[in-house]
């Protein structure tokens, strides 16, 4: 080795690193390109896999619209920023939902309804609204999104971690901004082929920001976690919060404190972003269609009178007009372009395409094994065959 210069060694290192990168890219490309090959590939005209990914990143909705128009009642493949997916038409969704779990693993979490916390949430909403949106006699300009985000962070925090932490400014800052920052990190990672992302994460500042969030979450929650453990060990009743329930179950499921803190961030992200978008869009729709306000207000007043002024689960169920207005608002302002419904099980590493077994539908259509399938949500809710005038303004109707 003495006769090799530093330059020779560096050149050899660069050569091997370059070859390794090429191999990784080829493997990634082959993996992404082989799943479900018998189905037609929408967007094939854009060329090789990386070009199709870029096309999706910049023109995703246009691709879904064109794919829906071309393959409305048929399965097709489409290259997305998360890899290749199989897009499933509406006519198959009910059948797929009825498939057993050994064939299809539903990746969408089913939320349990917890009627016993409805009243607590209603009280917190009322308190927070009065504190965050004080009444004014004159018209006042506000940033709706910021106010709504803060209100949701406080109310959801009441259930996730409980008072007084849910009122803490440091906690609220993390709750309000984590979703935005992790979205930025995800976008930065998706630029890289999947096989390289475990390495790329260490060079992306957006991912570094998420690590800081996790470290801060652990610092904020550790004293509360220890306090809950002490309460439980003394035989006392733990607080009625998600964190307390997780601490109680942590030993059973072998979850450490780091994972408890990280899970809280995931719950914050799931609870705040979608709720914030839904409420913000509804407020703008009410401003755009003020003729809807009186009917909605009359229904709310009437139903609450029947329930003694308490916003219970039963009261919410009776507010049909409000429910239909929310559905219409969401139809016109969808939070996501598609919905990944099911993940077929993998019994081998994810790069081994063909894990599990194919699923055959009633009409003989076969879905390949080991693929993620999704429904073109926006294209469906804007389809004139389901909604005669899909571009018409938001209007509530009695029977949603």
Q: How far apart are CA 363 and CA 365, in angstroms?
A: 6
pLDDT of residue 365: 83
Helix (H, G, I), strand (E, B) or coil at 83: strand
Residue 288 has pLDDT above 80, yes or no: yes
Which has more pLDDT, 287 or 370?
287
Which has more pLDDT, 349 or 191?
191
**8 Å CB contact between 298 and 105:** no
Task: Map out the domains of the chain as residue ranges.
Answer: 115-283
**8 Å CB contact between 171 and 157:** yes
Contacts of 400 (CB under 8 A, 6+ apart): 320, 323, 324, 327
Which has more pLDDT, 332 or 355?
332
Mean pLDDT of the chain: 79
- Render the burial of 61-75: b for 16+ CB within 10 Å, e for the rest: eebbbebbeebeeeb
CB atoms within 10 A of CB 216: 17
Tokens coding 72: 């409305």
* The Cα angle at residue 377 between residues 371 and 378, in degrees rounded to 5: 135
Backbone angles phi, psi at 2, to 5 degrees: -65, -30
Contacts of 70 (CB under 8 A, 6+ apart): 42, 76
| Least confident residue range of 118-127, 203-212, 309-318, 373-382 | 373-382
pLDDT of residue 297: 93
Which has more pLDDT, 83 or 164?
164
Q: Model confidence over 16-59: pLDDT tens digits?
A: 444 344 443 334 444 444 445 578 999 999 988 878 888 888 88
Instruction: Tell me what the mean pLDDT of segment 301-312 comes to.
Output: 89
Q: Model confidence over 215-264: pLDDT tens digits?
A: 999 999 999 999 999 999 999 988 889 999 999 988 888 889 999 999 99
Instruction: Tell me what the mean pLDDT of segment 180-190 comes to.
Output: 90
As its CATH architecture, domain 115-283 has: Orthogonal Bundle (1.10)
Tokens coding 162: 């409980």
Q: Model confidence over 87-119: pLDDT tens digits?
A: 888 888 888 777 765 566 554 433 443 556 777
pLDDT of residue 170: 94
């Amino acid at each position: 080795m003495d006769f090799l210069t530093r330059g020779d060694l560096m050149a050899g290192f660069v050569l091997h690193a370059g070859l390794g990168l090429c191999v990784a890219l080829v493997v990634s490309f082959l993996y992404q390109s082989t799943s479900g090959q018998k189905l037609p590939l929408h967007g094939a005209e854009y060329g090789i896999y990386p070009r199709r990914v870029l096309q999706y990143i910049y023109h995703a909705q246009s691709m879904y619209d064109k794919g829906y128009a071309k393959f409305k009642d048929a399965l097709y493949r489409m290259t997305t920023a998360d890899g290749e997916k199989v897009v499933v038409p509406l006519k198959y969704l009910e059948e797929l939902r009825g498939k057993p779990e050994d064939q299809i693993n539903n990746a969408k979490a089913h939320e349990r309804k917890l009627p016993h916390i409805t009243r607590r949430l209603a009280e917190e909403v009322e308190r927070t609204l009065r504190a965050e949106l004080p009444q004014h006699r004159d018209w006042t300009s506000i940033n709706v999104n910021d106010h709504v985000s803060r209100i949701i962070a406080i109310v959801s925090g009441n259930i996730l971690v409980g008072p007084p932490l849910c009122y803490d400014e440091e906690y609220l800052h993390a709750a309000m901004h984590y979703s935005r920052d992790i979205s930025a990190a995800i976008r930065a990672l998706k630029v890289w082929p999947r096989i390289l992302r475990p390495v790329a994460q260490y060079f992306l500042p957006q991912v570094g920001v998420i690590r800081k969030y996790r470290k801060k979450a652990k610092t904020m929650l550790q004293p509360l976690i220890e306090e809950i453990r002490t309460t439980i060990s003394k035989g006392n009743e733990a607080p009625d919060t998600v964190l307390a329930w997780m601490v109680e179950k942590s030993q059973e499921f072998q979850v450490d404190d780091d994972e408890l803190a990280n899970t809280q961030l995931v719950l914050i992200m799931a609870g705040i972003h979608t709720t914030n978008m839904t409420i913000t869009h509804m407020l703008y729709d009410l401003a755009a269609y003020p003729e809807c306000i009186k009917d909605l207000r009359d229904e709310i007043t009437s139903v609450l009178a029947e329930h003694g002024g308490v916003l219970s689960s039963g009261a919410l169920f009776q507010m049909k007009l409000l429910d239909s207005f929310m559905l219409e608002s969401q139809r016109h302002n969808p939070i996501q372009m598609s919905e990944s419904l099911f993940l077929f099980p993998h019994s081998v590493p994810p790069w081994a395409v063909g894990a599990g077994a194919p699923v055959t539908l009633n009409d003989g259509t076969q879905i390949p094994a080991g693929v993620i399938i999704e429904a073109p949500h926006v294209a469906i809710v804007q389809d004139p065959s389901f909604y005669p005038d899909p571009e018409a303004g938001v209007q509530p109707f009695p029977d949603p």
